[in-house]
Amino acid sequence: MRLALFDLDHTLIPFDSDYAWGEFTVKLGWRDGDSFSKANDGFYADYKAGTLDIHRYVRFAIEAVRERGLKTAREAHARFMAEVVLPSLKDTALSLVRAHQAAGDTVVIVTATNEFVTRPIAKAFGVDELIAIDLATDERGEPTGEIRGTPSFREGKVARVEQWLAARGLAWAGVQHSIFYSDSMNDMPLLEKVHEPVATNPDARLQAIAQERGWRILNLFE
């Protein structure tokens, strides 16, 4: 197996999908704009600083879906895809994914955003394999606000990729070549695990480390 792993937010798409979905729910009138945006900005600042409490954030981020129910939320997410996501997809990012697929690589998106938000975005890239935050559900199949299993965040991304490999009877040693594209310092554990780390649209801290270590730096959105 040759494995091509991609972060999603600010890597394949030029924004944070969880943040943008939250702001979209404000536009729909599901959330109070001022209080929600203030909290959303605070969580995003924590993420960039590497101090995010992922469990607390997921409870916050999924609250509107819990209140409205999955059926209504999925209908709204279809609008979000049409109005926000699809017009923002870049040919450079789409072409990079397709190049790996054409080369026969197994392409997997590995994101710290939950599956509800990201599954349709992965589909838009033509990627079936998605490792995302799994949401716990109640007896009706509705999300509870808690995370099911290991969150695919920081060190958890490594653990979740290992689980994904194990489910296919593989381990890292069985991967002929692995490459991971990411913009964020939060992804250092997985960047350091793969054969070929690529700092993609990197934040300032990741860019400095990539330059120091001689990692490839790729800017898809310039």
Residue 166 structural domain: 2-218
Mean pLDDT, rounded, for 43-50: 86
The active-site residue, picked from 7, 18, 105, 187, is 7
The DSSP bridge pattern shows strands 196-200 and 216-218 to be parallel
pLDDT tens digits, 159-175: 999 999 999 999 999 99
pLDDT at 115 > cutoff 90: yes
Both structure tokens of 200: 């993609």
**C-alpha to C-alpha distances, 42 to 15, 60, 84, 157, nearest whole angstrom:** 16, 12, 22, 23
pLDDT at 100 > cutoff 90: yes
> What is the count of structural domains for the chain?
1
pLDDT at 32 > cutoff 90: no
Question: What are φ and ψ of residue 127, in 5° steps?
Answer: -110, 120
So what's the pLDDT on residue 106?
A: 98
Question: What are φ and ψ of residue 136, in 5° steps?
Answer: -70, 145
pLDDT at 58 > cutoff 90: yes
So what's the pLDDT on residue 40?
A: 86
So what's the pLDDT on residue 33?
A: 84
The pLDDT confidence band at residue 48, using thresholds 50, 70 and 90, is: confident
So what's the pLDDT on residue 9?
A: 97
The active-site residue, picked from 9, 16, 18, 187, is 9
pLDDT at 76 > cutoff 90: yes
User: Is the Cα torsion angle 213, 161, 121, 70 positive or negative in sign?
Assistant: negative
Separation between Cα atoms, residue 68 and residue 45, nearest integer Å:
27
Separation between Cα atoms, residue 18 and residue 10, nearest integer Å:
11
Catalytic residue status for 7 = yes
Alpha helical stretches, state H, 81-114: 91-102
So what's the pLDDT on residue 37?
A: 85
Side-chain half-sphere of 154: how many Cα atoms within 13 Å? 10
CA dihedral 67, 70, 72, 78 (to 10 degrees): 130
pLDDT tens digits, 174-204: 999 999 999 999 999 999 999 999 999 999 9
The pLDDT confidence band at residue 42, using thresholds 50, 70 and 90, is: very high
So what's the pLDDT on residue 163?
A: 98
Q: Which residues pair with 70 in a beta bridge?
A: none
Both structure tokens of 73: 């939320």
Q: The CATH number of the domain where 115 resides is what?
A: 3.40.50.1000
Contact present, 119 and 98 (Cβ < 8 Å): no
Separation between Cα atoms, residue 134 and residue 22, nearest integer Å:
18
| Residues 6 or more apart whose Cβ sits within 8 Å of residue 131 | 108, 109, 110, 111, 152, 157, 160, 161, 164
